Amino acid sequence: MNNSNNKRETFSSGLAVFFATLGSAVGLGNIWKFPYMVGENGGGAFVLIYFICILLVGMPIMISEFYIGRSTRKNAVGAFEALKAKPFWKTIGYMGVLSSLFIMFFYSSVAGWVYSYVFKALKGDFLPLASMSMEDAALNASSQYDAAVSGSISPFVWQFIAVTVVSIILIAGVKNGIEKITKTLLPLLFALVIICCIRALTLEGAKQGLSFLFLPDFSKLSASAVLSALGLAFFKLSLGMGTMTTYGSYFTNDNNLFATSARVALSDTLVSLLAGIAIFPVVFTFGMEPGMGPGLLFKTIPLVFSKIPLGNVLLVAFFILTSIAATTAMLSLVEVPVAFFIEEKQMSRNKAVLLSSGLILIIGLLTVHPKSVFGNVVIAGKGFFDLFDYLSSNIMLPIGGLLITIFVGYVANKDQLSYELSNHKTLNNDGMIKFYISILKYITPALLVIVFLNSIGIINF
Ligand code: PFF
């Protein structure tokens, strides 16, 4: 055991565990990705499939990752060694470190757009929308978005700023950095999203927006939509790549892993639905296209607040809080390679953070912007931005998740599993543990394999 392990930090309380873990789950996925994916995939039916994925795939995998992390108190790679697993299983950890970098390449770029929107709202760039007709306001918001993401300098600068903020918090450590920031800021995020919903629900298109979000229309559901819902569940709950293993390794010993996973999954889904309730009424009120893709958030939210008193103040607040959500999620993404470098490569925390952020910035800045050196490269019909997103969410996280399921369901020692899940009280499987193990052994992997084979065209349903 190396000495970095002696100084290993943990979160200080159950509440801190909840907020940090929720801080990882809640992020751009809820406010940016969830609404536009619901829009692209036909609304309510997609939401329903997403719920099923959360319950039958997401939660069992989250509990498994907590178990791997907390029982070993190690990073995503070292944990498998500590469990005395065959070297093959360490692949899950290595793939996790890689996935976290892949996600950060594009995620930090979108976080940069969000940061830049705080600045734009502060400068009053959206104030003129107030006196425009609805169509003109929608057009103006669209062109401001295009200018913000495809400019030749500002997207680079904002991505750099986003990664720098994350690095500073991570250097402060688990308790003084991650825990403090998430505990202070997440409750504020909730409050602000609720205010946005209230405003959106008073718009003309509220009814249409809500029907779109909640009424399932299965004719619009394709096989690729089912894979996307599964990928989104992984992305949303930060699963399949060692993030929850790493955070689990900082949990307190008395934390109930089942309860934490249920609380986090439910609260996270609530935030996604609230974001949908804030966004879709605007889409229908302003005659926008729900399936417009990644620009959806940036083109709608400025409109939500454009015609109400103090709208610009609320707009600033909304983008500040979206920046917070993006930042707390990035903390957990970057903590995966950081914990790996500290414990497996014996680096200091500062060095590990600098190395991880450096890799993210160099590769991210060179690839994901349309104006960058490799910005025009297209592989398998996708630019780098979409490629990193597709490879991580739809391929690497589900494969990581499947391997974790097989490892915990079939390979791991069940006495030890029960001991950990019961908070060190029993070696016997009680009802809840038995139920979880049977879902993990039979249902979760079956669903993963079916959806996966279907998406690559080997079977059709
Ligand atoms: N869950 C985050 C979101 O929904 O924005 C994104 C994310 C964080 C994905 C951490 C994966 C991860 F490990």
Question: What average pLDDT does range 294-319 have in this prediction?
Answer: 85
* Residue 373: predicted pLDDT: 81
Q: How far apart are CA 341 and CA 330, in angstroms?
A: 17
Q: Taking residues 168-197, report their average pLDDT.
A: 91
Question: How far away, in angstroms, is 333 Cα from ligand 1 center?
Answer: 7
What is the model's pLDDT at position 180? 92
In this prediction, residue 303 has a pLDDT band, given cuts at 50, 70 and 90, of confident
Binned at pLDDT 50, 70 and 90, residue 19 comes out as: very high
Residue 461 lies in a domain: no
Query: Rounded mean pLDDT of 86-108?
Result: 96
Tell me the CA–centroid distance for residue 380 and ligand 1, in Å.
25
The predicted pLDDT at position 3 comes to 42
401 lines ligand 1 (CB under 6 A): no
Mutate to test the pocket of ligand 1, among 36, 100, 103, 186 (most ligand atoms within 8 A of CB): 103
Report the share of the chain in percent with pLDDT over 90.
67
Phi, psi for 17 (deg, rounded to 5)? -60, -45
Q: Would the CA dihedral through 336, 339, 341, 344 be positive or negative?
A: negative
User: 403: domain range?
Assistant: 3-455
Residue 95 has pLDDT above 90, yes or no: yes
Residue 281 CB–ligand 1 contact under 6 Å: no
Contact 245, 42 (CB under 8 A): no
What single string gives the DSSP state of each residue in 387-443?
A: HHHIIIIIIIHHHHHHHHHHIIIIIS-HHHHHHHHTTSS-SS--HHHHHHHHIIIII
How many CB atoms are closer than 10 A to CB 73? 18
Q: Which residue from 405, 403, 430 is spatially nearest to 419, judged by alpha carbons?
A: 430
With a 6 A CB cut-off, is 241 part of the ligand 1 pocket? yes
Closest CA to 230 of 53, 45, 26: 53
Q: In a mutational test of the pocket of ligand 1, which residue from 65, 236, 239, 272 has the highest number of ligand atoms less than 8 Å from its CB? A: 236
Structural domain includes residue 357: yes
Task: Give the pLDDT score at 457.
Answer: 66
Q: Which tokens sit at 69?
A: 């992390």
**In angstroms, rounded to a whole number, what is the distance separating the alpha carbons of residues 124 and 222?**
42
Mean pLDDT of the chain: 91
28 Cβ inside 6 Å of ligand 1: yes
Does a structural domain hold residue 164? yes
Q: What is the pLDDT of residue 455?
A: 64
Least confident of 3-7, 172-176, 417-421: 3-7
The preferred substitution site among 21, 22, 24 for testing ligand 1, maximizing ligand atoms within 8 Å of CB, is 24
Mean pLDDT of 202-224: 88
**Residue with token string 């979880």:** 436
pLDDT the model gives residue 4: 47
Q: Is 252 left (phi over 0), alpha (psi -120 to 50) or beta?
A: beta
Say how many Å lie between the CA of residue 327 and the centre of ligand 1: 10
Instruction: Give the residue, by CA position, lying nearest to ligand 1 atom 10.
Output: 238
Rounded to the nearest whole angstrom, what is the distance from the C-alpha of residue 24 to the centroid of ligand 1? 6
Residue with tokens 């079977």: 459
> pLDDT exceeding 70 applies to what percent of the chain?
97
pLDDT beyond 90 at 317: no
CA–centroid distance, residue 193 to ligand 1 (Å)? 19
pLDDT at 2: 43
Q: Which atom of ligand 1 is the closest one to the Cα of 329? A: 8
**Residue of the CA atom closest to atom 12 of ligand 1:** 238
What b/e string do you get for 366-397 counting C-beta neighbours within 10 Å, with b at 16 or more?
ebbbeebeeeeeeeeeebbbbbbbbbbbbbbb
State in Å: Cα 238 to ligand 1 middle.
Answer: 4
Residue range 390-401, pLDDT digits in tens: 899 888 998 999
- How many A from CA of 243 to the centre of ligand 1? 9
The pLDDT assigned to 141 comes to 94
Domain count, the chain: 1
Residue 271 or 227, more confident: 271
Domain harbouring 55, CATH code: 1.20.1740.10
Going by alpha carbons, the residue nearest to atom 7 of ligand 1 is 238
pLDDT higher than threshold 70 for residue 241: yes
Confirm whether 241 is domain-assigned: yes
Q: Ligand 1 mean position to 204 CA, how many Å?
A: 33
Give, for ligand 1, the residue of 332, 360, 389, 404 to mutate: max count of ligand atoms closer than 8 Å to Cβ. Answer: 332
Helix (H, G, I), strand (E, B) or coil at 114: helix
The band of 408, judged by pLDDT with boundaries at 50, 70 and 90, is very high
Backbone angles phi, psi at 382, to 5 degrees: -125, 140
Query: How far apart are alpha carbons 394 and 230 in whole angstroms?
Result: 8
Band the pLDDT of 6: cuts 50, 70, 90.
low
> Using 50, 70 and 90 to split pLDDT, how confident is the model at 381?
confident
Q: Is 25 in the pocket of ligand 1 (CB under 6 A)?
A: yes
Residue 460 lies in a domain: no
Which pLDDT score, from 0 to 100, does residue 1 have? Answer: 38
Question: Per the domain annotation, does 381 fall within a domain?
Answer: yes
Q: Is the pLDDT of residue 372 over 90?
A: no
Residue with tokens 């008193």: 309
92 confidence band (pLDDT: 50, 70, 90): very high
Atom of ligand 1 nearest to the CA of 330: 8
- Side-chain-side CA neighbours of residue 442 (13 Å): 5
Q: How far is the CA of 456 from the centre of ligand 1 (A)?
A: 24
